[in-house]
Amino acid sequence: MITDTATLMDTEVLMAGFGGQGTLLAGKVLAQASMEEGREVSWLPSYGPEMRGGTANVIVCIASKPIGSPLIEHPRGLIAMNLPSLEKFAPKVKPGGVIVVNQSLIDKDPRRDDCVVISVPSRELAQQAGSARAANFVMLGAYVGATGAVSVEAVEHAIAAEFAGDKARFIASSVAAFRAGVEAVCPRS
């Protein structure tokens, strides 16, 4: 794991899935965590005529200097929560990028030999962590584990901050799901 933020590369990740899968929320947590680490961030959602059951996506940019365009055509990272998102966005990922595939819903290889492709059974891991609804955090964990885009502690802190107050009951299962995602790609030695 890279934890020294000064050595971190600028990156951007596109998170995409069905409305209701929590892609926008996972993106917000990533942006919040990166901001807490002193980095520049932007969080740009798709806001067309989206609806529950439709598709939703967000681009999170993380950089060491002010972000120019928050709109990225070829991101270095993709978290695909469902098949339409994988089919639409996997071809756009920059060569050498990281693609995290939601194995629980996607039975298809993105066919990107030039990228690091990680398949994660997010629903199963989230269920084991205490809540099937936290599959988004499993996926985020896998991405963070694979890239070191931000520290694990910062994300955990951001999850706790996001659910502070009357949603505090979601913190434990969300953090556990996030950790399960991290450990799925970098097992504890």
Partner 1 sequence: MSKVLMKGNEALGEAAIRAGCVHFFGYPITPQTEVPEYLVKRLPEVGGAFVQAESEVAAIHMVYGAAGVGIKCMTSSSSPGISLMAEGMSYLAACELPCVIVNIMRAGPGLGGILPSQSDYFQATRGHGHGDYQLIVLAPASVQEAVDLMTLAFDLAEKYRNPVMVCADGMIGQMMEPVEFPGEGRGEPFKENDWELTGRKGRARRIVNSLFLAPEELFQHNIHLKEKYGRVHRDEMRWELCGGDEPYDLLLVAFGTMARICKTAIDEVRRDGLRVALFRPITLNPFPLAACRAAMDAMHAKGQVLTVEMNMGQMVQDVRFAAEGSRDVDFYGTAGGIVPSPDQVAAEIRERLAGVRATTPIRLWSGAGLCCEAQGDGVPCAGTDGTCDTCGRAMPAPAAQPAPTGA
DSSP state of 152: H
Residue 80 has phi, psi (to 5 degrees) of -105, 110
Question: Of 54 and 70, which CB lies nearer to partner 1 in the complex structure?
Answer: 70
* 32 CB-contact burial (10 Å; exposed 0-12 / middle 13-18 / buried 19+): buried
Is 74 a binder of partner 1 (CB under 8 A)? yes
The yes or no reply on residue 147 touching partner 1 (CB under 8 A) is no
Helices (H) and strands (E) in the chain, counts: 6, 6
The reply to whether 163 sits near partner 1 by the rule CB under 8 A is no
140 binds partner 1 (CB under 8 A): no
**Measured distance between the N- and C-terminal CA atoms of the chain, rounded to whole angstroms:** 12
Alpha-carbon dihedral 22, 28, 30, 31, rounded to 10 degrees:
160
* Amino acid at residue number 165: G
Structure-block tokens of residue 52: 């529950």
Dist CA 74 CA 151 (whole Å): 24
Asked whether position 91 contacts partner 1 by CB under 8 A, the answer is: no
Piece of the chain touching partner 1 by CB under 8 A; list 3-11, 46-54, 99-107, 135-143: 46-54
User: Is 68 one of the binding residues for partner 1 (CB under 8 A)?
Assistant: yes
Please select the residue that binds partner 1; options are 8, 13, 15, 41, rule is CB under 8 A.
Answer: 41
164 three-state secondary structure: coil
Q: Quick one: 45 or 130, whose CB is closer to partner 1? A: 45
Q: 43 vs 143, which CB is nearer to partner 1? A: 43
Size of the site for partner 1 (CB under 8 A): 22
Which of 2, 9, 51, 71 contacts partner 1 by CB under 8 A?
71
Asked whether position 69 contacts partner 1 by CB under 8 A, the answer is yes
Q: Give the integer Cα–Cα distance in Å for 121 and 30.
A: 20
Of 18, 21, 37, 43, the one binding partner 1 (CB under 8 A) is: 43
Which C-beta is closer to partner 1: that of 40 or that of 183?
40
Residues that bind partner 1 (CB under 8 A): 28, 31-32, 35, 40-45, 47-49, 66-74
